[in-house]
Amino acid sequence: MICKRIKPASFVGNYVKEYLLLHMAFDPTVAAPVKAYPTNPEEGITFQILGNLFAESPELKSGNKPAKTYVFGQPDSRQNFHLPHEFKMVHVRFQPGGLFHLARIPMNELVHQQIDAEVIFGSAIKEVNDRLANAPDYESIPPILDTFFARKIAQIKHTSRPIDQIGRLILANPQRFNLAWVADQACLSVRQFENLFVRQIGITPKYYARICRFYQAYELKEFYPDLDWLSVAIQTGYTDYQHLVKDFKQFAGTAPNALIRESNQNPERRLKIADTFHFRGV
């Protein structure tokens, strides 16, 4: 079993942030645990190699069983992932705006959506699925994905512009967000910047910064469990604890301590295979 974050090859790193490789197996005589998945700043592709999950959106009172391989846009609310008794997948997390450049689809059309990857990337996805299913070991999986994304990158005509870096800038420092300043960094007027940002990321820059700050607070508390919530709030740029609570209720559907308790029961924690990482903000 494994739960590991893996950096992609350097030649795809401008588009792909990381791969999350996950393989878990549970006692088939008891219900498999549910993974709490609060709103977070990401977009990507999930390759379900073995088994299929059920994605529940409690706030929307809906759920669905995504395609074997699906593209997902920026989440807009909490999800619960119900896993089968054995589940193996690789979760591709893009750099902010990376999916937009590879798929050439306005990201506002994909907000909180899970779309069959073949609809967006064509039959090449079938070949990748076959290679992943037949990979002899965990170490063979990242190179398969590196090859696929390298081919996609070679097919696009993308001239880098200042706005392409703004998503990463907000992701790293959401507490310092200032609309006029980031628009200036992108060499655009505020209106031009907001329109292009929504097209590349899916949501407005201000809303994106809120999600980034919330998730930064969530990860900080997970990494430093003895840190009190007021300190977490201050360190991540909240004016007070109540503003932090408001974001937790919006983006996680529950209070801060309740989310941490749920996260401690996530499948990878119960199996004691959760990847150890240094706190990176997001």
Residues paired with 91 in a beta bridge:
20, 46
Whether residue 184 is contained in a domain is answered as: no
Instruction: Let me know: does 82 contact 32? Beta carbons within 8 Å.
Output: yes
Instruction: Let me know: does 202 contact 107? Beta carbons within 8 Å.
Output: yes
pLDDT of residue 276: 58
Residue 86 in 3-state DSSP? strand
pLDDT tens digits along 81-95: 999 999 999 999 999
Q: How many CB atoms lie within 10 A of CB 75?
A: 23
pLDDT exceeds cutoff 90 at 33? no
Whether residue 257 is contained in a domain is answered as: no
Number of domains in the chain: 1
Q: Which of 92, 41, 58, 78 is nearest to 203 (CA)?
A: 41
Query: Residue 149 to residues 121, 124, 176: CA-CA distances in angstroms?
Result: 11, 11, 32
Tokens (6 digits) for 126: 């079938």
pLDDT tens digits along 220-256: 999 999 999 999 999 999 999 999 999 999 999 999 9
Sequence-distant (≥ 6) Cβ neighbours of residue 95 within 8 angstroms: 13, 14, 15, 16, 17, 167, 168
Q: Which DSSP symbol is given to 255?
A: -
Whether residue 71 is contained in a domain is answered as: yes
Whether residue 268 is contained in a domain is answered as: no
CATH number at residue 144: 2.60.120.10
pLDDT of residue 160: 85
CA 3 – CA 267 distance, rounded (Å): 10
Q: Which domain holds residue 130?
A: 2-158
Backbone angles phi, psi at 173, to 5 degrees: -135, 65
pLDDT of residue 282: 43
The C-alpha angle 129, 164, 106, rounded to 5 degrees, equals 60
Whether residue 56 is contained in a domain is answered as: yes
Whether residue 83 is contained in a domain is answered as: yes
pTM, to two decimals: 0.94
How many helices (H) and strands (E) the chain has is answered by 12, 10
pLDDT tens digits along 139-193: 999 999 999 999 999 999 877 899 999 999 999 999 999 999 999 999 999 999 9
Whether residue 278 is contained in a domain is answered as: no
